[in-house]
Homo-oligomer: A and B are copies of this chain.
Amino acid sequence: MSHPSSPVSVAINPERLLGDLRRLREFGACGIGVVRQSLTPIDIESRHWLCSRLEEAGLDARIDGIGTVLGRSRNSGPALLIGSHTDTQPQGGWLDGAMGVIYGLEVARALAECSETRHLAVDVASWIDEEGAFATCLGSQTFCGEIEPGVAGELRNEEGKSLGEALREAGLDGVPLARCEPGRYVGYAEAHIEQGPWLEHQSKRIGAVTGIVGSRNFTVSFTGQQNHAGTTPMALRRDAGHALVELAHRVYETFPEHAGERSVWTIGRIALDPGVQSIVPGRAEMNLQFRDQDVAVLDRLEAHARALVAEADARGRAEVEMTESGKRSIPAMMDERLRGHIEDAAERHAPGDWISMPSAAIHDAQVLARHMPAAMMFVPSIGGVSHAFEEDTSEEDLVLGAQVFATAAANMLLG
C-alpha cells in the first residue's frame, strides 16, 4: 500500500522532551526503575504536575473523577486524541506508558510552535490504571463509556482497597468524569515502547502497528490414578503427568502448522499432584495461552487445541479437560489511514528504518479502537525488556520516535 508523502514536517524539541521524561521519572523513582501504581499518592502528585505542564502548553487540563488526566485543546475543529498511561507496574520501568503521554505533551507544544500547524487541535490523555491495579485500561474504558463508575467503585486492588476509597483519598470524590465527546475526534494515536525484542532484532527504529493481538487462556486438567512409584508396573499406570507431557509435546510439535506468522503460544505453568518423586501423579494441570491479531487464527488454534485434548482424552492415560480461564482479549485492528501517516512520517525521518508489525501486548488503543479510528507507533525496547526496572530505550530512539509521531499527528489532522 502506498501513501502520499507527508505534506508537513513538525520539529520537536529534544531537550524539552527528554527533560519532561526525566522529570516524570522522579515521581516514584526506585533505583533505575519506577514504582507509581495508579491512584497512589505519588501517582496523584505526578498527575498534578502533568496538568501544570499541559496548561503551560496551552491546553485546558484536569484530573477527572476516575483519575484520568485530560488536556483539551483550546483550538476549534476536529481534534486528534493522543494518549497513553503514566501509572506503572508494581515494579515498573520508566518509559512504559509514560513515554506516550510525554510524546502527546511534546506534540501539542511542537504543533503550537509551527505556523502550518498551530491551528490544529490535539487533546492529550493519561488514562488511569492501564496496568490494572484495579482494572486493566480502567481510564480509557471509562472515557469510552464501557465501564460505569458506580460499578467500578467496588473494584479492589491487591491490598484490598476499593477504587471508591482510593478516589476519595485522592480528592477525586464527586469530580466529573471526562467522557468521549461524539464527533470531536478524527482519531486516537498512541506511542509506546515495543516491550519486545522484534525491532531490535530486525535493526529497525520505528514500528507502525497493524493491530493489537487478542489472547485466549486455557487450563488443561488431567485426572489419572495416584500410585506408588515403585510398586506400580508401567503397564498398569494411569500417570496424569505422562498424559500432560504427551499433550504439551503435541502442542509444541503441531501448533506451527495451525499458527499465523506472528502467533505466539505459551505453556507458562505446569503442576503435578502430589508432585513428589516417589509417587505416580494422579492429577496434573497446565496453562495454555495463545495470541494473534486475527480472530480467525485464534479460532483455528483453539479448535486445534480442543482436538489435541480430545485425542489425549481418547488415548485413555488420563481424563483430559480444557476450560477457558480469565477474560478473552479481542484483537483490535489499527486504522489504515492513520497508520499510513505513521509510515510516511517514519519514512521521512528514518528512511528504511521502520517496519509495520502487530502489538503483542494490551494497550489503551485496544479500547479506543472500538470507538474511533486508532493508531499506534512503537520505539525499540533495549533487549526487549519491559515490566522491569531495567526497561530502557536509547535517547536517539526516544527523540526520533517523538519526531516521527509529531509529523504523523499533524498529517493525521491535515490529511
Nearest Cβ on chain B to A91's Cβ, whole angstroms: 13
**A50 on interface, CB distance cutoff 8 Å:** no
Most buried by B among A195, A263, A270, A362: A270
**A8 on interface, CB distance cutoff 8 Å:** no
| Cα–Cα, bound, A229→B270 (Å) | 15
Given A236-B201, A249-B249, A269-B272, decide whether A230 and B215 contact each other with a Cβ distance below 8 A. yes
Give the residues from 213 to 257 in chain A that come closer than 8 angstroms, CB to CB, to chain B: 213, 215, 217, 227-234, 236, 239, 241-242, 245-246, 248-249, 252, 256
**A198 on interface, CB distance cutoff 8 Å:** yes
| Cα–Cα, bound, A102→B241 (Å) | 38
Which residues does chain B contribute within 8 Å of A233, judged by CB atoms? Answer: 196-198, 201, 262, 264
Nearest Cβ on chain B to A165's Cβ, whole angstroms: 27
Interface segment, A273-281, A342-350, A397-405?
A: A273-281
**A48 on interface, CB distance cutoff 8 Å:** no
| Cα–Cα, bound, A231→B217 (Å) | 16
A291 interface neighbour in B230, B326, B361, Cβ under 8 Å? B230
| Cα–Cα, bound, A360→B196 (Å) | 50
Nearest Cβ on chain B to A177's Cβ, whole angstroms: 30
**A351 on interface, CB distance cutoff 8 Å:** no
In the complex, are the beta carbons of A264 and B384 less than 8 A apart?
A: no
**A387 on interface, CB distance cutoff 8 Å:** yes
Give the residues from 328 to 381 in chain A that come closer than 8 angstroms, CB to CB, to chain B: 360-362
In the complex, are the beta carbons of A228 and B386 less than 8 A apart?
A: yes
| Cα–Cα, bound, A246→B251 (Å) | 11
Given A268-B272, A269-B277, decide whether A197 and B236 contact each other with a Cβ distance below 8 A. yes
**A6 on interface, CB distance cutoff 8 Å:** no
Which residues does chain B contribute within 8 Å of A280, judged by CB atoms? Answer: 266, 268
A232 interface neighbour in B242, B277, B287, B384, Cβ under 8 Å? B384
**A57 on interface, CB distance cutoff 8 Å:** no
**A11 on interface, CB distance cutoff 8 Å:** no
Which residues does chain B contribute within 8 Å of A268, judged by CB atoms? Answer: 229, 241, 272, 275-281
Closest to A200 in B: B236
Instruction: List the 7 closest A-B pairs by CB distance, nearest first.
Output: A196-B231, A230-B360, A229-B266, A277-B287, A249-B249, A231-B360, A245-B248
A residues near B (Cβ < 8 Å) are: 194-198, 201, 213, 215, 217, 227-234, 236, 239, 241-242, 245-246, 248-249, 252, 256, 259, 262-272, 275-281, 287, 289, 291, 325-326, 360-362, 384, 386-387
